[in-house]
Amino acid sequence: MPKHKVLIVEDEQDIARLIKHTLERSGDADAEVVGSGDAALKAVAAGPPDLIILDLNLPMLSGVEVCRILRSRADARHVPIIMLTARTTEQDRVTGLDLGADDYVTKPFSLRELTARVRAVLRRSAKTEERPAAAYQGTHLSADFDAVAVAVDGESVRLTRREFELLRYLVQNKNRVVSRDRLLERVWGYDRLVETRSVDVHVGRLRGKLGGAGRQIETVVGLGYRFIDS
Give per-residue pLDDT as tens, 86-102: 877 777 777 777 777 88
**What CATH fold (topology level) applies to the domain 135-227?**
Arc Repressor Mutant, subunit A (1.10.10)
Instruction: Check if the beta carbon of residue 74 is closer than 8 Å to that of residue 86.
Output: no
Q: What is the number of other CB atoms lying within 10 angstroms of the CB of residue 61?
A: 15
- Tell me: the pLDDT tens digits for 129-163? 545 567 899 999 999 988 889 999 999 999 988 89
Q: Specify the DSSP element, H or E, that contains 207.
A: helix 196-210
Residue 13 has pLDDT above 70, yes or no: yes
Sorting pLDDT into bands at 50, 70 and 90, what band is 192?
Answer: very low
Residue 22 has pLDDT above 70, yes or no: yes
For domain 4-127, the CATH architecture is: 3-Layer(aba) Sandwich (3.40)
Q: Which residue has the higher pLDDT, 205 or 101?
A: 205
The SS3 of residue 26 is coil
Kindly state the average pLDDT of the residues 23-34: 89
Residue 189's pLDDT is what?
Answer: 65
Residue 123 has pLDDT above 60, yes or no: yes
Residue 117 has pLDDT above 90, yes or no: no
- Domain map of the chain by residue range? 4-127, 135-227
Q: Which residue has the higher pLDDT, 230 or 102?
A: 102
Work out the mean pLDDT of the chain and round it to a whole number. 86
- Tell me: the pLDDT tens digits for 34-76? 999 999 999 999 888 999 999 988 988 999 999 999 988 877 8
Distances (CA, A) of 174 to 56, 153, 228: 27, 20, 6
